Amino acid sequence: MPSSISFERKFTISPTPTLANHTYTVDNNREVRFTFKLTSPIDASWVANLSMVGAFEFVGTNQGITDEEVEIIIKAINPPGDEERVTEFYINVGYGGNWSEIPLISGSDLIGVGNRVVIRQPAN
């Protein structure tokens, strides 16, 4: 579904998720790191979210305001087990009392389940 607030990609995220590569695997520390900065609208705030909070968590902050660059660290809570663990990572932006998910995948304006950044922890 398209986002109900148009941000015209006035944010930066690194690494940049693309249609061809929007799945990230946790490293040996069970972490994936992104740098995020919202540049418009002025006076907006944002919060990063995970779809599977029982298996993954944020380390440090997962929210910010316009023009504030934040390192977002997503960590698998437990060591690898018998099954792969997967979560979707997405960001909601609040402006003027309204909150909306923004499309993080470069080359796509779609949001919602299946259109988000995927974080995975492989099985042992």
pLDDT value of position 49: 99
Mean pLDDT, residues 107-122 = 97
pLDDT in tens, 81-102: 999 999 999 999 999 999 999 9
Judge whether residue 7 has pLDDT over 90: no
CATH fit for domain 11-121, picks 1.20.1640.10, 2.60.40.10, 1.10.230.10, 3.90.1010.10 = 2.60.40.10
92 vs 32: CA distance, rounded Å: 19
Side chain identity, residue 63? Q
Q: How many CB atoms lie within 10 A of CB 103?
A: 20
Question: What pLDDT band is residue 6 in, cutting at 50, 70 and 90?
Answer: low
Mean pLDDT, residues 44-70 = 97
Residue where the block lists tokens 């946790």: 26
> Is residue 74 within 8 Å of residue 31, measured between CB atoms?
yes
Sequence spans of domains, the chain = 11-121
pLDDT value of position 9: 57
- State pTM to two decimals: 0.91
Question: Which residues are registered as beta bridge partners of 95?
Answer: 98
Mean per-residue pLDDT of the chain:
94
72 vs 26: CA distance, rounded Å: 13
pLDDT in tens, 56-68: 999 999 999 999 9
pLDDT value of position 5: 55
Question: What pLDDT band is residue 1 in, cutting at 50, 70 and 90?
Answer: low
pLDDT value of position 62: 98
